[in-house]
Each structure stands twice: as structure tokens, then as C-alpha cells.
Amino acid sequence: MSRLDLKNNIGVVRTLAAASQADPAVPVNGAGVDLAGYDAAVVVIEAGAITGAGASLTFKVQESDDNSTFTAVAADDLDGTEPVITAANDDQIHKIGYKGIKRYIRVSITAKAGTTPTLPCAATVLRSRGRKKPLS
């Protein structure tokens, strides 16, 4: 294994499955990702092309001690900005570093706006600086 080997030094876990998000009335919560055994994490949000007049979707990183009660992560515990996806910044990959101390994090779509907003998207958490080699 070379010093440049990344594959064997990160854990990759999906929090928000790839889907076309369209219901403006229902928040969408990703699955909690366990950070136990890791000292660093980055959230990767992959957004496709948004449709709908004035459409936007707001993504938030949330944290939890118990994988049950999630709250918004404080801005000081993030490296980067949680995206509000509009036609101006869609069809991109957005990444946000997590510097908090909670055991679990997830991505949530907390607000949708516009006429019939639709956005194909997914979110993944990359865990690194593992105290042991990652299994996944």
C-alpha cells in the first residue's frame, strides 16, 4: 500500500439515497452515519439539474448522539456552506467538512420552494482518519 492510497483509508457511507426529490411539503432525512472510530468526515452532496419555476432545495447537515434525535450542526462545526440548490448552482458536487463531536451525522433536505421543484440528488459521508482500517 502506497502513501497515496486513499481507498483503504476512508469509509464511504450513503446518507441520502439517489432519488428525484419533488414533494415540497415533506422534509427528507437521510440515514444516520456512525462516526465512531473516525476523526474526520466530509459530506458530499451530488445535485443534478433542478427543474421548476423559482425552484430551490435547502440541504442541512444534522448531528446526533444517539442516531435518533438530530439537530442542525452549528456553523462553527462545519467547514464550508450547506447548499441551497437553485438553477444557479445545480448540476454540481457540494462538499462540507464536519468538525463537530457528535457520533452520528446525516443530510436532510429541510425546505423546498418554487413551483413543482424537482432535483435528482444523493448524499454520501466520507469518513477518514480512522483509528482502524475501514471495513467499508
pLDDT reported for residue 25:
66
Cell numbers for 69: 434525535
Torsion angle of the four alpha carbons 62, 22, 116, 93, in this order, in degrees rounded to the nearest 10:
60
Give the 3-state secondary structure of 57-79.
EEEEEEEECCCCCCEECCHHHEE
Each residue's pLDDT tens digit, 3-35: 567 777 888 999 999 998 886 567 899 999 999
pLDDT reported for residue 115:
85
CA–CA gap between residue 8 and residue 25 (Å, rounded):
40
Each residue's pLDDT tens digit, 101-110: 999 999 999 8
CA–CA gap between residue 32 and residue 97 (Å, rounded):
16
Q: Would you list the domain boundaries of the chain?
A: 12-130
Global pTM? 0.90
Residues of the chain with pLDDT > 70, as a percent, come to: 92
What CATH fold (topology level) applies to the domain 12-130? Answer: Jelly Rolls (2.60.120)
